Structure 1
Amino acid sequence: MNKTTLLARIVQTLEDDVEVLRRAAQTAYETATAEENIAENKYDTLGLEASYLATGQARRTAEIRQALLTYQQLIMRDYDPARGIQISNLVTLEDEQGHQRMLFLGPQGAGLKIGEGEQVVTVITPRSPLGQLLIGKRVDDEVSLQVAGVAQVSIVIDVV
């Protein structure tokens, strides 16, 4: 998957997520403000719970909108071996068993999975432990990450 296509798919995924969350927040708001959900006693908390849910969903929508704006303005840079891995690089790692995975080092949107089958790209950020390790690395460098007390070692085999 090339980076231009990847960026377009990240933007589309974020746009879809914003719309889904917007509708969910609207539904929660309507539930929170519905006349039939006015508390009849101190134990009747449906309206209050819906209000908390609407607030959380509105906050999450704002976060995704910010990520969307960031990706819409992202300048894709080619890999520069002198600088090593930076934001907007597409990285392929291979573990000790020979399994490969593709990661896109993005400014936001950690955890997004773009693609299907063996062409899945996972978005990570420099704030993640793996993202921190990858910044400045080059092809053939090794990265070792402790997960649940076990070292997971991978080799950078390709960077675009």
Structure 2
Amino acid sequence: MNKSDLRQIILNKLEQRLQVALSATQRAIDAATDEETVPEHKYDTLALEASYLAHGQAIRVQECEDDIRSYRELVFRESESITMTSYLVVVDEDDNEKHFFIGPSAGGLSVDWQGHDVSILTVNAPLGQALMGKEAGDEAEFNVAGTSYIYEILCII
């Protein structure tokens, strides 16, 4: 199993996100600077709202660029226990298998890799925190909104 291939798939998806964010930013800038958004009276806030949106979109572009940079600089580590860059397969209480990759950012992003839906977890997520340092055969228990979840770790790559 080559994690470099997985990283490239993640980078491709992050690049797609960046392109969408860049396009949205440009549309917001165009709307903020369009002559039709010039205020007609003191209560006309269309241009101001458009500029706030453009600023928010620019921040999103920066976040996308930061995510891409963090994956390009990622150093893979081999370990018996779960660490950053671990690929793992877990099973929940209903015997549903789930595949995760512990990454530096972009938590929640899912990619298709080798026929599996792989979700990215960060160490800041409740499940990511519960899994860190565990080994194959261990169980990880965590709570979200008062509901308890338990996963058994089948394998770590």
TM-score by length of 2: 0.94
The Cα shift of 1:148 comes to: 3.0
2:128 is equivalent to residue 125 of structure 1: no
Gaps of 5+ in 1: none
Aligned residue type for 2:17? D
Aligned residues between the structures: 157
Q: Deviations over 1:99-133 (max 9, x none)?
A: 01011100011111101796100001001111111
| Structure 1 position 139 matched with structure 2 position 136 | yes
Give me the whole-angstrom Cα distance separating, in 1, the residues matched to 2:19 and 2:5.
Answer: 21
Residue 25 of structure 1 pairs with residue 25 of structure 2 = yes
Aligned to 2:116, the other structure's residue is in SS state coil
Per-residue displacement from partner, 1:44-79 (whole Å, max 9, x unpaired)? 22111111111011001101101101101111222x
What residue is the counterpart of 2:104 in the other structure? 107
Question: Any gaps of 5 or more consecutive residues in structure 2?
Answer: none
Q: How much has 1:91 moved relative to structure 2? A: 1.1
CA distance in 1 between counterparts of 2:114 and 2:48 reads: 43
Match of 2:56 in 1: 56
Task: Find out whether 1:71 has 2:71 as its counterpart.
Answer: yes
Identity between Structure 1 and Structure 2 (%): 37
